[in-house]
Structure 1
């Protein structure tokens, strides 16, 4: 796709409360922890990518592509006769992806700032992918339906979503520790959307997909270790800024600073059993959800 073509398909992004939260609050934190967020999740994605129904020459959408690492992997998979269109609401993330694609000589990927829920897709794609992005849709059914509109009849959508918190000790344990010292966020807390575990319930997600028009819906459990820090100090700092524990720390404000020493010591003790030669490694669990556009 040429630059001119991509510009024609790029309407102005309408900012919402959730999009503003991502750009104002989360983007700086994600940039600080990019090496963990991208490299740490790679161990998880490595189990998923060989299973994706993507072939050479395919046209692919990567919805909520973030730093563009999955879009670049997909572009390599489809080869020079295929193309990947990556969308994300955070332009700063996309800048990194564009630079990485250029550095690797990948010319068959286009990354644009857009809201997946409203982007005017053309139904020309063979495959639509999302890794941990759909969980944050303000309106999940609308977002999933719009992703389906990107597909040809018979096209496949695969999204990776976290299973529930109890199945993800890399996030559950730090949250439990932090809640010993700080209050839970109030109902008025700013948020990035429904949240990372909003698509953990297979019955709920199945109904959302059916309403959005998909058929042949299936779920496959994916269990994998993720790197949460190269050492204990890095893992603790990450948890206090991102994820459920990070939300608690952010909302507690001054109380977090007052009790930082206690919280840090408790997190260090809780994470110590997960120390391995290459860093703090913890278990994660997700659903690989696959569905078809019937046409």
Structure 2
């Protein structure tokens, strides 16, 4: 699919991806697609809360880094109107296939999607606003990735990204991990992972220092709390946790040991989810994120 006729200007070429991207495409993407209903449904609770707070103006050129299934890019395309445009970048082709074929994309001709590794090159001074929902946490080199985002902004351009707060504030991910690790060891130093991990930017002081090193100014943090769906029912929630996130990583890296103990683990996780709030056709748990905003120097 080509988008050459959608915009009058062309975006810079995204350089080839790092080896970490291969792991996302080969191992993680199929799991994320399978549990899209959990991930998108849960993550959207945070992005829908922050979307009205974002400094996006009609006519802006916007970059969505780690755009995933495309829902945030399309939402921002509606914000900027036909005078503006949005480019969604992600390293996973499977995610972008879904993004390009979302029915609501038909009402947002000013958005396009392209494959790329955000840590490598996002172009220079192309955008008025750059956004990321739960994507920057997985940068293998956070300062390099954030600097790439800053360089993509025009002078004085705005940025915002959402990251998970502390583990203890996110039982939707950590409670299941703790259960699994009663049966299996934590992944070793040589484990294949998604990158630094979902809580790599939870510490306000550390992340602020990374953003300053990347060249951002006017850095601000705002806490966002929301209930997120962890599955349609107990079985769905258990299978989701054993597929992705810290519990899934523990199970995957345990290999044959994990398979041998799966029945025990499933029973223990099922007991965990029996006490979880059930409503709106699903199971819901607490989660907490940071909305981090900043500017590129003028």
Using structure 2 for the length normalisation, give the TM-score. 0.94
Alpha-carbon displacement from aligned partner over 1:39-58 (angstroms, at most 9, x marks no partner):
22222222111111112211
* Partners of 2:129 and 2:159 within 8 A in 1: yes
Change (3 A) 1:235 1:7: farther
Superposed, which structure 2 residues align to 1:58-207 within 5 Å? Answer: 58-100=60-102, 103-207=105-209
Match in the other structure for 2:49: 47
Q: Could you list the runs of 5+ residues in structure 1 that have no partner in the other structure? A: none
Change in 2 beyond 3 A, CA 1:271/1:80: same
SS state at 2:184 partner: coil
Secondary structure at the aligned position of 2:29 is classed as: helix
Cα distance between partner residues in 1 of 2:10 and 2:154: 20
- Which stretch shifts more, 114-123 or 275-284? 114-123
In the alignment, which residue of structure 2 is the partner of 1:271?
A: 273
**Shift of residue 137 of structure 1?**
0.8
RMSD: 1.9
- Name which of 236, 244, 247 aligns with 1:245: 247
More displaced stretch, 142-151 vs 10-19: 10-19
Task: Show the counterpart of 1:286.
Answer: 289
Paired residues of 1:10 and 1:112 also in contact (CA < 8 A): no
Q: Distance in 2 between matches of 1:161 and 1:6?
A: 33
1:24 Cα deviation from its structure 2 partner: 0.8
Q: Hey, what's the Cα distance between the residues in 2 that align with 1:294 and 1:15?
A: 28
Q: Is the 8 A contact 2:161 2:291 kept in 1?
A: yes
- TM-score (structure 1 length as normaliser): 0.95
Q: What is the SS of the residue equivalent to 1:3?
A: coil
Poorly superposed stretches of 4+, deviation over 6 Å? 4-7
Alignment-derived partner of residue 34 in structure 2: 32
- Note the C-alpha offset of 1:95: 1.3
Aligned residues: 295
Q: Distance in 2 between matches of 1:269 and 1:126?
A: 48
**Cα distance, 1:14–1:103 mapped onto 2, change above 3 Å:** closer
What is the deviation of 1:61? Answer: 0.7
Shift of 1:35: 1.5
Quote how far apart the aligned CAs of 1:105 are: 2.7
Mapped partners of 1:124, 1:103: distance in 2 = 23
Separation in 1, partners of 2:8, 2:269: 46
Deviation at 1:200, TM superposition (A): 0.7
Q: Secondary structure at the match of 2:160?
A: strand
Is the 1:236–1:268 contact (alpha carbons within 8 Å) kept by the matching residues of 2?
A: yes
The verdict on how the C-alpha distance between 1:155 and 1:15 changes in structure 2, with shifts beyond 3 A counting, is closer
Equivalent in the alignment of 1:11: 13
- Are the aligned partners of 1:213 and 1:293 in contact in 2 as well (CA < 8 Å)? yes
Counterpart CA distance in 2 for 1:60 and 1:277 is: 36
